[in-house]
Amino acid sequence: MKNILFVASECVPFVKTGGLADVVGTLPKMFNKDEYDCRVIIPNYRCIPDKFRNEFQYVHHFYMDMGERFNSVHVGIMEYEYEGIKFYFVDNLFYFGGDKPYADTRYDIEKFIYFSKAVMAILPVINFRPDIIHCHDWQAGLVPVYLHTLYKDNPFYSGVKTIFTIHNLRFQGIWDIKTIRSLSGLPEYVFTPDKLEYKKDANMLKGGLVYADYITTVSDTYAGEIQSGYFGEGLDGLLRARNQSLCGIVNGIDYDAYNPETDENLAKKYSVRTFKKAKAANKAALQSELGLDRDDNRFVISIISRLTDQKGLDLVRYALDRICDEFTQFVVLGTGDGQYENLFRDYAWRMPGKVSANILFNEGFAHRVYAGSDAVLVPSLFEPCGLTQLIGLRYGTVPVVRETGGLKDTVAPYNEYDGTGIGFSFANYNGEELLATINYAKKVFFENRAEWDRMVARGMKTDYSWAGSALKYQDLYNRVLGW
């Protein structure tokens, strides 16, 4: 039996701000249980719903050193088994008592220094010695660093390997060296330019990338992109240097949670055989729910996303007047930067019946938007993997994407000459290209509905479940353990 521990800052169904949570909550379920004991550890945020928190079992608590504070920082351990996986929750109300998982940067830095150290300290207490600690994003960046410094002579951790998965290189956990050094208690020699130092500051993600045995990211294309200056976020040199221990493994989606055949949220369930009528029924229901004009003969295109500049919303802003013509309805679902929230609110107010802005997030509602839309728009500036296009495909909703990162790897573009492809895509970060691509999609939708429906069917049949990717992670685990 191989022991694997996932370390992350969020995880469905407990706490989610983005795709990271879906991956961390789903992938552990996909491993062969006879061979892998895969467990997950995240913070015990006060904002995890009570229906879960009330079920958590208290395991133990102790006091830990943290930087200059000796033996005085509380670490509680809670445990909960969910869908066959053991989850641990690090308890500390001072750090995790807020009403959302992240707050201002300085506080988050301290919070996740604490979290990384606590994860290390907890392992002997729960008597779980991982063969591999699989760390996700900057919040877990210091785990490999601690393993190779403060914990390196402790026999309990000897031979433990680490894998670091980058879900988004943009967020790195950067603060001044003095602060990070005194909070973390890490030795001075790690704060050099070949280790944590980054433009005179300390960078927690960089620590993870330097000290992990292996680095992965969430698509092949993104694995290549981050080795270039444009996508490298200042770390492309390091990633090129680690090129031999870096690969991309594309994410899947949870085929049970996202299944139009069994989805209780929908007005009408459907499969690849029944989608034509059922999607029309779901579209009508969605139009009523959102107060849009009830008309089957409109092209409904949706954005379901965190509303940040990563997501290509500047292109949308540029083209939105022309996207929203008399044949089209435009739906937004998500929260994020005020400038984008207000942009969509403004359009919804100016174009009632045509534009619907839902500045919120609600999982069941999201499923209805997927089911009721003809297309889902993902024009990202960069996209490590992207999950919305995969969910769209599963729900027979054609993705319109920009060819970057995982979007490029998962959405084969429609080719009208040989009748292949499952979506529409464009190459450059340019509003006219976005508009032309949407217009091309509309042309096929309105003028050649049979072709459109065949494309929908091809998309629904493409397998983006976790099965294939989980096998790739298993291979990687075995490879790393063989070193």
What residue ranges bind ligand GLC (CB under 6 A)? 18-20, 23, 167-168, 218, 251, 383-387, 406
* Residues forming a β-bridge with 69: 66
Q: Show the CA angle centred on residue 338, arms to residues 337 and 344, nearest 5°.
A: 100
Tokens 């989850």 map to which residue? 87
Rank residues 340 and 347 by Cβ distance to ligand GLC and give the closer one.
340
Q: How far is the CB of 478 from ligand GLC (least distance, A)?
A: 22
Q: How far is the CB of 383 from ligand GLC (least distance, A)?
A: 5
* Among 303, 268, 273, CA closest to 286: 268
Q: Shortest gap between Cβ of 406 and ligand GLC (angstroms)?
A: 6
What angle, rounded to 10 degrees, do the helices at 105-126 and 204-211 form?
A: 40
Give the contacts of 189 (CB within 8 A, at least 6 positions apart). 195
Question: Rounded to the nearest whole angstrom, what is the least distance from the CB of residue 167 to ligand GLC in the complex?
Answer: 3
Residue type, 297: N
On the question of a cis peptide bond just before residue 13, with omega within 30 degrees of 0, the verdict is yes
Count of beta carbons in the 10 Å neighbourhood of residue 79: 16
With respect to ligand GLC, which residue has the nearer C-beta, 166 or 290?
A: 166
Q: Compute the least distance from the CB of residue 405 to ligand GLC, in Å.
A: 6
Q: How far is the CB of 371 from ligand GLC (least distance, A)?
A: 21
Minimum CB separation of residue 22 from ligand GLC in Å reads 7
CA angle (372, 375, 380) in 5-degree steps: 130
Cβ neighbours, 10 Å, residue 225: 23
Closest residue by Cα to residue 475 from 116, 216, 117 = 216
Please say which residue, 22 or 263, places its beta carbon nearer to ligand GLC: 22
User: Between 43 and 406, whose beta carbon lies closer to ligand GLC?
Assistant: 406
* Rounded Cα–Cα distance for residues 356 and 302 (Å): 9
Strands (DSSP E) along 170-298, which ranges? Answer: 174-176, 197-198, 201-203, 214-217, 246-248
Q: Which is nearer to ligand GLC, 238 or 390 (CB)?
A: 390
- Measured from the CB atom, the residue of 333 and 348 that comes closer to ligand GLC is 333
Q: Which is nearer to ligand GLC, 149 or 221 (CB)?
A: 221
Q: Which amino acid is at 32?
A: N
Contact 123, 176 (CB under 8 A): no
Helix-helix angle 449-461:431-447, to 10 degrees: 110
Task: Return all residues near 103 (Cβ < 8 A) that are at least 6 apart.
Answer: none
Q: 55, 93, 54: which is closest to 74 by C-alpha?
A: 93
Nearer to ligand GLC, 167 or 298 (CB): 167
Q: How far is the CB of 401 from ligand GLC (least distance, A)?
A: 12
Helix segments in 324-418, DSSP class H: 338-350, 363-372, 388-394, 405-410
CB of 275 to ligand GLC, least distance (A): 25
Core vs surface per residue 311-332: b (16+ CB within 10 A) or e: bbbbbbeebbeebbeeebbbbb
| Closest CB to ligand GLC among residues 168, 329 | 168
Give 374 or 383: the residue with its C-beta nearer to ligand GLC.
383
Provide the minimum distance between the beta carbon of 311 and ligand GLC in the complex, in angstroms, as a whole number.
9
Least CB distance to ligand GLC at residue 423 (A) = 16
Residue 479 burial (10 A CB sphere; 0-12, 13-18, 19+): exposed
In angstroms, rounded to a whole number, what is the distance separating the alpha carbons of residues 208 and 96? 22
Smallest distance from the beta carbon of 372 to ligand GLC, in angstroms?
23
Shorter beta-carbon distance to ligand GLC: residue 170 or 354:
170
- Measured from the Cβ of residue 309, the count of other Cβ atoms closer than 10 Å reads 14
Backbone angles phi and psi of 307, in degrees to 5: -95, 80
* Closer residue to ligand GLC, CB minimum distance, 37 or 383: 383
The residue at minimum Cβ distance from ligand GLC is 19
